Chains A and B, each alone.
Chain A
Amino acid sequence: MAAVTPEVLTSTHVEKMKKKKLPKRYWEETEKTDQSQRRPEEEQGKAGQNQNKSTVKEKSLKRKNGESLEKKDPFPGEAPIPQKQLQKFQRGKKCKVPAGARERLKEAIAISEAMSEHAQKQAARYDLLLPEDAGFLEGDEDEDTNTISQADIADAVDITSGSKYFNLHLSQFGPYRLDYSRTGRNLLVGGKKGHVACIDWQTKDLKCEMNVMETVNDVNSLCTLRSASRWLHTEAMFAVAQKRWLYIYDSKGVELHCVKKFNDVLRMQFLPYHFLLATASATGFLQYLDVSIGKEVAAICTKMGRLDVMAQNPHNAVIHLGHPNGTVSLWSPNQKESLVKMLCHRGAVRSLAVDKTGTYMVTSGLDRKLKVYDIRAFKPLHSCFLPAGASCLSLSQRGLLSAATGEIVQVYQNVLGSNPVSKPYMAHRLRGQIWGLAYCPFEDVLGIGHGEGFTSMIVPGAGEPNFDALDTNPYRSHKQRQEWEVKALLEKVQPELIGLDPGQLSKVDQASFEQRHKEQIEALGFDPLAKDKFKPRTKKKGRSSAGAIEKRKRKVAHEDQRDEIRQSVQERTEREKELKEKSNEKKLGNKSTLDRFRK
């Protein structure tokens, strides 16, 4: 009797806690039979442990059998993640626990592994939120896609996409260089003869326009113009390399800075995560300007002559420079000499492009060759010969290569790989000489600056379809932009971390103490561990005369050296003594002193 009552009680309490009613499913009926078969087996397994419990469960089961069976999810557990997706987010190799490891080590490894696996899985799960696919162009049978004209494409696609093919006829101040902002919303155009315009190219809304009244080298959104200009980190600023100095304007064309430290700039690159504007000048200087604090970070004399070919590696923020002697050199602001120098062409290098992942580099030279390099191993993958030679190169986010050969822009597909290219994917002829090529980020658009103005060309499959809204959001609002700017500044990467291997920071520095000490001395300009020089105290009553001081100094002079010598001498004498003893023993063998009296 005593045994029965508690059981019933537990059943009333425990059951309620345990069994939540699942919502009804359509497969319930089919599952029933399965359940009834499986259940008792489980029950038996547990029976040994706790008899009370098992009886309770059986009871409840029986009751349930009478009414309705417990339902079970046909797809239990978490949804499986495809291996491919998992691999996409794999970060480094797993570390195996060594055989004779200590407990603490085992735990540390296990925890870190579990965490990284969890992170990987979660990332793979969230990959589902990148639903967009890139487009492509497909011709009819026996039709090359490169014969399809832009007008045809513009007609075929929807109106908004069609409007992305347009020309700006600007014959007066050409030829033009260009740069798109990082979000791809704004376009900066800089004409050689001083015309700079900033356009929201999708709405065709002119933001600002001016003539700087001197030659423009490059533009950068933070871009330049003597023949160049750039967008800086935001749409709010852009840089223009004018005839002598580098200028920075705001989005309304108001001159913010004239940076006179940066003279004769020919090309500019903006490193967005470091807030660095790298400039290459006609005098052979590569300079880095920190845009966030307005300071020159490094100025490197490359000793390679005029620098008019420049590209950045988005993977590790290393600057690639092309030189007239056919070499391409890689630079970081931390080293006065080039990180790598590679001989790419037999003639001068005309143009350079590095792909988004930092794996491939495409170069074209005066020898009219187009070469693709694997810059992880610094090995050429393949090369081809373009009859006209490519004056400008540009790689899209999806790896489409556009090359400007004279007046024609050719777009190549599948360049980045081992198989050589045979024919262009698309081609487009323009009026004037091409000066600038740039793909618009997140759009299937290639911007072309040429002698007659600017042309926006539709290249299906060029842009990355999925954007990271926290990083570069083409549709961001004013508020989001502000927020992003603050975050980006907080997460700014310091220029010291630029190097060939971006993962260098996560490695253990294995340099020896001496080496580190030497570096420290170099960095500080003095030896922090050095002993102070002996300074004799001033004494009175004529004892601080020059001679006395000198005497006192001599007493202490070379104290360290003397110590060392003394020690070494002592060691030596000891050693000799030992040797002597040993030799004596050998000589005498086991003879004692009394042995000499023996006959």
Chain B
Amino acid sequence: MQNENLVQISFFNQLMLVHPRKKQNERSEASVQVSEYFVNAEGTGDKVNLSDLLGTVEKTSGASNKTKKQLRNLQSSKETLELPLNKQQTEKIQRGIAYEKTTAEVSCWKNIILQNQKAEQMVFPLNQESSGPKRVEQVVAGWKVQTPLEQEIFRLLHGSRQPVNDPVLTPVEEQSLKAMSLEEAKIRRAELQKARALQSYYEAKAKREKKIKSKKYHKVQNKAKRKDFLKQFDEMVKTNPEGALEELKKMELSRMEERMSLKHQNSGKWAKSKAIMAKYDDSARKAMQEQLQMNKDLTQKMVVPSDDEHESIEEGLETVPDFVNDPETVIDPVNPWMRGQLTHEEPEVSCVTAEEVQTAEEENEEEEIIGEFERKRKLRQADEEDLIPTEEERKKTQEEDEDEEEDVSEFNTLFRLMRSEKTREGSNQTRGGLNTAGEEDEEGLLSEGQIRVRSIEDLEVLDEVVEPRAIEEPSAPQTAAAEATSEPPHKKKREINLKEVLTKEAKAVRLPFLPTVVDEEERDEQISIIKEAFAGDDVISDFIKDKSRQEAAGRPAVVDLTLPGWGEWGGVGLKPPRWKRKRFRIKTAPPPPRQDQKLPDVIISEKRTASVASHQVSQLPFPFQNTAQFESSIRTPIGSTWNTQTVVKNMTKPKVVTKLGAIIEPMVKEDFIKSKTTAAGGKGAAIMLGENRRAKEGTKRTKILALTELPTA
């Protein structure tokens, strides 16, 4: 046998030599006989038996007794292992289990969903908390000490008499706080509105003026502006040196530009043409001269600010505002705006005479008002800023002194500005000193009730107010005249003279009392008379005929299907036989009894009104079982004609209310579970001090959307 094998293999090798491309890998299977030439496949069919292993286990000392025992048990047992279930079945079982789990998980939503379905109104987003800070009382209301640690803490707190609810605001306080803020907001809004309006007016005005093409106009305008500017600058030098410096810089810049450019050098096209004409034309000459003058003016060097001004600047940089040293005269203790000198200008405005109003204010009234608002706002801001830092400053060191200085200097400049304006406005009130402050205040107090006069129109109005009597007297004839005119135009034709009618007394009529009502029994004669009168038309019989006709029309007609001549003789005057009539005349069911069946003198139409039907409900809506239920459920009208306002609102409130702009997030499991637990625990919400519960717990969100993806086993 081995020889045979050998022969085979040698043959095989030869074959391999013939086809050397394929390379034979050496096989390394375990076999009893190992030969270097061939693979012995003798033991391949044999299985490794447990008994084989056991023998070696018994021999090896390393194996534990336990495993030995188990192996022995295995050997002795004759039961076969159960087949594992096939794939379909295992999957089915798994699905079943998964279904049960998910139903359990999802069914906890059932209640809340039902509840929301039933709810009269849903407000989204859910769990809205009132904005703004809460009172500690509110926060602590539902608090219960639960853990021993908490108990310990509270005991300690209580023992040390720590004020637990000290910083609590009373509701009144809270309200007042809110009210303040609201008021302020309103005022501010109103101011803003006004400012905006004025600005728009101003812009419109500027636009209009800009559009004007007249060169002369612009020239005049520019001149006036320049003059004005110079005047202002002079004042500014005194009052606001910094600003003046800036202005100066600007001027310098413009001078530089002028020197650089050829604008007014009489070298342009226009200037050359004018130069030709200058010989003959006086005006051309003048124009050229003007140009040159302009150039001169512009290129002139500005006067260097003197030492005094430097001083004034230094004064301006004082650390403390001037008026701080003034004795504060409290005018109105309640109103903060009445405190300090800053507010003095207001009463002054009211005192300005009409002429001044005309001249000074007409032009830059709007600017002033806008400026005023801005100033006020700045002041308020400054106030607020001041308030906050004062507290902080106590704690902090002197590092911030510089900043403070800046602040104060700002304040100073502002104050200066106000002052300057004051002087400009009220030229008659140059005193402005500290001594007269009291007087001014008095004036202010007095003039507070007066009407502010700002324009001529206002003045006119004032006049009217002053002299109402004078107008009233002539009013009577006027109204009379108006009456005369209000009468209709075709006066000639008029038949009714109302005045005559009304002034005349109506004649009193004495009533002779006949027996106006006669009993039914006494009327027999009358009946006979009437019968005579209406002998021709028998009303009653007519009516009866009419009624019978109507009834007949209402009855369903008999359907006659008899065909004459079938199965019998045909011809004129022959009636179909009885059997035929019985069989082929179809009677339909009689209609329900007429409404007027028992009313002999009434015909009620039995026609259905189809017009209303299109507006009626034709099918009974869902939860109702019969029409009576549904009809009674809608019997109460909703409209405000029949109901009080509250009821109408209640009845027509929307099913879902959403907050504008708020994100409506899907419901989270914790939301309702929490609410449930708290509802069980007692009233009031459990407190979560400053923490977002969702964020803290960090649990995954199970959304209602998951409902759609239920596995169905």
Contact = CB atoms under 8 A, between A and B. Distances in A.
Interface stretch (A73-81, A106-114, A584-592): A106-114
B623 interface: yes
Nearest to A347: B534
A519 B141 contact: no
A489 interface: no
Contacts of B641: 470-471, 491
A146 B511 contact: yes
A400 B518 CA distance: 20
Given A9-B164, A17-B137, A122-B643, A368 B618 contact: no
Interface in B199-213: none
Contacts of A211: 493, 495
A529 interface: no
Contacts of B639: 491
Interface stretch (A27-35, A134-142, A283-291, A382-390): A382-390
A557 to B, nearest CB: 24
Nearest to A16: B137
Contacts of B552: none
A566 B502 CA distance: 92
A367 B530 contact: yes
A448 B454 CA distance: 61
B644 A126 contact: yes
B634 interface: yes
Nearest to A426: B511
B636 A91 contact: yes
Interface in A353-407: 366-368, 378-379, 383-388, 405
Contacts of A430: 509
A170 B634 CA distance: 54
Interface string B640-670: 1111101100110000000000000000000
A101 B629 CA distance: 11
B231 interface: no
Contacts of A421: 517
Nearest to A499: B609
A206 B647 CA distance: 43
B435 interface: no
A109 B621 CA distance: 13
Contacts of B510: 149, 429
Nearest to B644: A122
Nearest to A121: B647
Nearest to A407: B509
Contact of A146 (B501, B513, B542, B622): B513
Interface stretch (A223-231, A260-268, A337-345, A569-577): A337-345
A504 B612 CA distance: 7
Contact of B517 (A105, A107, A166, A386): A386
Interface residues of chain B: helix, strand, loop or mixed (majority): loop
Residue of A146, A152, A168, A195 with most chain B CB atoms under a 10 A cut-off: A168
A507 B612 CA distance: 10
Given A5-B154, A335-B607, A385-B520, A341 B625 contact: no
Contacts of B165: 12-13
Contact of A91 (B144, B512, B522, B637): B637
Interface size band for A: 35 or more
A209 interface: yes
B430 interface: no
Contacts of A93: 632
Contacts of A170: 495-496
B596 to A, nearest CB: 8
A334 interface: yes
B492 to A, nearest CB: 12
B602 A341 contact: yes
A509 B615 CA distance: 9
A408 interface: yes
Contact of A496 (B512, B546, B611): B611
B158 A8 contact: yes
Given A340-B604, A427-B511, A108 B141 contact: no
Residue of A332, A341, A427, A430 with most chain B CB atoms under a 10 A cut-off: A341
A160 B603 CA distance: 49
Given A95-B629, A337-B605, A123 B618 contact: no
A232 B653 CA distance: 35
A326 interface: yes
Contact of A337 (B517, B607, B640): B607
A341 B603 contact: yes
Interface in A114-131: 115-116, 118-120, 122-123, 125-126
A508 B630 contact: yes
A94 B632 CA distance: 7
Nearest to A102: B623
Interface in B99-136: 118, 120
Nearest to A189: B496
Interface in B236-278: none
Nearest to B630: A508
B631 A387 contact: no
A327 B498 contact: no
A297 B610 CA distance: 16
Contact of A427 (B120, B513, B596, B628): B513
A156 interface: no
A211 B495 CA distance: 9
A511 B496 contact: no
Contacts of A253: 488
Interface in A413-439: 421-424, 427-430
Interface string A448-462: 000000010000000
A112 B518 contact: no
A242 interface: no
Interface of A: 1-2, 5-6, 8-10, 12-14, 16-17, 91-95, 98, 101-102, 104-105, 107-109, 111-113, 115-116, 118-120, 122-123, 125-126, 144, 146-147, 149-152, 165-170, 172-173, 195, 197, 204, 206, 208-211, 252-253, 325-327, 332, 334-335, 337-347, 366-368, 378-379, 383-388, 405, 408, 410, 421-424, 427-430, 455, 470-471, 491, 496-497, 499, 504-511, 515-516, 519, 522-523
22 contacts: A108-B623, A115-B636, A116-B636, A122-B647, A146-B511, A146-B513, A151-B506, A166-B502, A167-B501, A169-B504, A210-B488, A252-B488, A325-B537, A340-B604, A340-B605, A343-B601, A384-B517, A385-B518, A428-B509, A497-B612, A508-B620, A519-B608
Pick the 5 closest A-B CB pairs, nearest first: A95-B632, A116-B636, A92-B635, A496-B611, A112-B633
Interface of B: 118, 120, 137, 140-141, 143-145, 148, 151, 154-155, 158, 164-165, 487-488, 490, 493-496, 498, 501-502, 504, 506-520, 522-523, 526, 530, 533-534, 537, 539-540, 542-543, 546, 596, 599, 601-605, 607-620, 622-625, 627-637, 639-644, 646-647, 650-651
Given A147-B513, A343-B543, 9 more contacts: A6-B144, A107-B118, A118-B650, A210-B493, A335-B609, A368-B530, A386-B517, A509-B618, A519-B608
